[in-house]
Amino acid sequence: MIALIMAGGSGTRFWPLSRKDHPKQFLKVSGDRSMIQLTVDRLLPLIPLNDIYIVTAANQVALVHEHLPALPLENVIIEPFGMNTAPCIALSVQYLLPRYPEDTAMIVLPADHVIKDTDAFLTSLQTARAAAEDKRLITFGIVPDYPATGYGYIEAGAIIKEGIYSVSRFKEKPDQATAEAFLKKGGFFWNSGMFCWTLGTIREAFEQHLPRVAELCAEIGKIWQTAGADADISELYRQMPRTPIDIGIMEQAAARCVIPVDIGWSDVGSWKALSEISPRDAEQNFSNAETYFKDAKNNFIQSSKFTAIIGLDNLCVIETADAILILPKERSEDVKLVIEHLKQDGPETLL
């Protein structure tokens, strides 16, 4: 088995700590290791470092080498610029096919997720490898513990074998009532954004369902073959459709299945989500700095300065050298409004 870690995102929902020159996957959000380091760490008991690949944007290559100095240089696959997950994965498959047999199982996962139960995670990968050898496209469904409205859902169909189910349908992020109905009915799982297949199976899936992507990758492969992996492929890559792998492949494919997992997973997609996995005191407050709380509950503080919170609940307060973010936890997604403002009115140095 080989692993592909997608690490090219910008992590804008973690502004002001996450910036375009130092995005979320390179932050230490849960311990003294960055998220990309933790992602590699949890794979190593099963997959050697030489068989772990990082696909990232050109402007983040130096950060990858800084955080993973033992990773071979040729194990970093460079996107000229971000184009969504289907082009990213297709480009990586094109890069890997000359290096591995087509029946090689491949796990694909983001660089910025938290997984607390590593043993259960590795067991699920071994289950997925067996399913991939049957030429199936596997996604991992997180067993939900509350009716989340921030995740897409996967509805499981018939059982294929123990721990593996066909996919009945994918559902977009639901409203509260629909999410509650999903949990009551059962058989619905959060879409984790993690996948497994063989190199040959996913290549065939691109040829069938996203033929334009497959054609462009074949042209890129010819350039790499003659001019090397450092050749400029930006003109071809710019023509890629900006399609997620879920929509482009998984929603179309016939031989798709889901493996439900309970692995202590979080995509840590917002400050509120990070607060939920961080250690808290008796009043459910978290702070990484010296803090005075008075009549204050359920607050999340990231600061380098002494911070006092009096008579306020359910806040996120994030302080950096040049910016401060203060917002209710329930409006964590509205960080995007700040990003939109800065893109339009600046200063761009804050992005």
CATH number where 208 lies: 3.90.550.10
Region 21-26 average pLDDT: 88
**What pLDDT, on a 0 to 100 scale, did the predictor assign at position 29?**
81
- From the list 183, 223, 194, 271, the residue with the least C-alpha distance to 91 is 223
Average pLDDT over residues 20-46: 91
Cβ(237)–Cβ(216) under 8 Å? yes
Q: Does residue 187 form part of some domain?
A: no
278 found inside a domain: yes
pLDDT in tens, 118-141: 999 999 999 999 999 999 999 999
Same domain, 237 and 313: no
Residue 21's pLDDT is 81
| Predicted pLDDT of residue 148 | 87
Regarding whether 300 and 213 lie in a shared domain, the answer is no
pLDDT of residue 12: 83
Looking only at the bridges linking them, the beta strands covering 300-302 and 315-319 are parallel
Report the first-to-last Cα separation within the chain, whole angstroms. Answer: 38
Q: Are residues 294 and 325 in the same domain?
A: yes
pLDDT at 291: 94
Kindly state the average pLDDT of the residues 291-306.
95
> Is position 149 within any domain?
no
Per-residue pLDDT band at 13 (split at 50, 70, 90) = confident
Residues 221 and 310 grouped into a single domain: no
- Considering the domain architecture, whether residues 275 and 223 belong to the same structural domain is answered as no
Q: Is residue 82's pLDDT more than 90? A: no
pLDDT band with cut points at 50, 70 and 90 for residue 295: very high
Q: How many domains is the chain built from?
A: 2
What is the percentage of the chain residues whose pLDDT exceeds 90?
82
For 58-85, give one letter per residue: b (16+ CB within 10 A) or e: ebbbebbeebbeebeeebbbbbbebbbb
pLDDT computed for residue 156 by the predictor? 96
pLDDT at residue 138, as a whole number: 97
pLDDT at 9: 76
In a domain, 177, yes or no: no
Per-residue confidence (pLDDT) for residue 10, from 0 to 100: 74
* pLDDT of the residue at 351: 87
76 and 121 part of one domain: yes
**Residue 146: helix, strand or coil by DSSP?**
coil
Are 79 and 91 in contact, with CB atoms under 8 Å apart? yes
The whole model's pTM is what?
A: 0.91
pLDDT for residue 11: 74
69 and 210 in a single domain? The answer is yes
* pLDDT for the residue 102: 97
Q: Does residue 101 sit within a domain?
A: yes
What average pLDDT does range 179-193 have in this prediction? 95
Same domain, 216 and 291: no
**pLDDT given for residue 20 in this prediction:** 82
pLDDT in tens, 191-204: 999 999 999 999 99
175-201 mean pLDDT: 95
Q: How many Å apart are CA 337 and CA 12, to the nearest integer?
A: 10
Q: How confident is the model at residue 41 (pLDDT cuts 50, 70, 90)?
A: very high
User: By residue range, what is the domain housing residue 308?
Assistant: 271-350
As a whole number of angstroms, the distance between CA 183 and CA 208 comes to 34
Report the C-alpha gap between 302 and 90 in whole angstroms: 38
116 in a structural domain: yes
38-43: list long-range contacts, CB under 8 Å, 24+ apart.
Answer: 38/114, 39/5, 39/109, 39/110, 39/111, 39/112, 39/113, 40/5, 40/68, 40/71, 42/115, 42/118, 42/121, 42/122, 43/3, 43/107
- Does 205 share its domain with 342? no
Q: Is the pLDDT reported for residue 294 higher than 90? A: yes
Based on the fold, state whether residues 72 and 216 are members of the same structural domain: yes
Give yes or no for residue 30 having a pLDDT over 80: no
Average pLDDT, the chain: 94
Where residue 270 falls among pLDDT bands split at 50, 70, 90? confident
> What is the structure's pLDDT at 267?
86
pLDDT at 103: 97
Whole-number pLDDT of residue 268: 85
- Which of 238-242, 296-300, 333-337 comes out lowest in average pLDDT? 333-337
Q: 229 with 337, same domain?
A: no
Identify whether 110 is part of a domain.
yes
Same domain flag for 237 and 316: no
The answer to whether residue 86 is domain-embedded is yes
